Structure 1
Amino acid sequence: MCKVAAMIMASMLSLSSSVVLAESAKSLPADTLAHDGNMLDRRNTMFDGINLTEQQRQQMRDLMHQARKDSPQIDLKQMDTMHELVTAKNFDQAAVRSLAEKIAQEQVNRQVEMARIRNLMFNLLTPEQKEVLNQKHEQRMQLLAAQISGVQPSSDQQPTSIQKRASSTE
């Protein structure tokens, strides 16, 4: 029962965050990426800190635009149905499980598609840019591992964006 509840909550959380992200993306002016070359770096943390050429930026914008256009919409009816199941007088575990599994599979499909797009974007990079990206990934992994284990990393192990955030709050 606990696992089912956790799966439902995770599915609802991922769906609600997807809806929020989709809504925030819709609220951006269509020409934002075209006029602000750094916007690509801010919106896609995978490439944060990588100096991209204008051609790379345009190719990545095109990939993101196509992916957004081709991606399936979040099914609001599913969210409403889940809400009805959760708030029903009698709990229907089979119905919740079935819907949760369907929602989870759709989320997996979206993640696979996003990974495919990120792979295409990664392969647009030069070998030097790929190396910088891999180094930043290693730093993030070390930081996460330290956070999980409860050990605070030294400031030289923290990625630049975290250092900036930490210094701005002091």
Structure 2
Amino acid sequence: MKRLLLLILASLIVLSACSPKKTYLSPLELEEEKEQVKKVIEDYHRASEDKNFGKVVETLADEVIFFGTDSSEVIKTFADFKKAIEKQWQDYDKIDYGELRDVSIQMDEGATLATIIYGVNSDFIRGEETYNYYLRIARILKKKNNKWLIVSGIVGIVRPDAPYQQNGSVE
């Protein structure tokens, strides 16, 4: 009986020593990770401005889901994403994104999953006309192979001057 108990105790010690330990980052390390998340978003914007689909894809995870500015715009596949972004690039000659504003990044203690919510001024240029929008954007990113990648997102256009109808929709 003593041998069995000793064997069980030894097995538990060996198994606990071999199990991966959760690592928690220091506040400074978490801030560095948050800067990396912010850089991925900025890289996504630059690639979109340059109409460089290859560079856009470098910021995305293997599977993505995006919700656009209207209820019918739900993107669940890369084919849908490519079609939507190419349509956007065809509709406008140029898109310029400003600096990220009102940035809030939340991250787990191990820096494997992050959410970023921010606002950004954007100019959509078509011919001689420029349309300025303030966008509110939320993204979820996960870390894979030591690299932050966008897995999902939602975009809203702020329309402060638009009156609301009684049913809650914007005119």
From the two aligned structures, give the one with the greater helix fraction.
Answer: 1
Larger radius of gyration: 2
> Same-fold call, TM > 0.5?
no
TM (norm. structure 1) is 0.28
- Calculate the TM-score normalised by the size of structure 2: 0.27
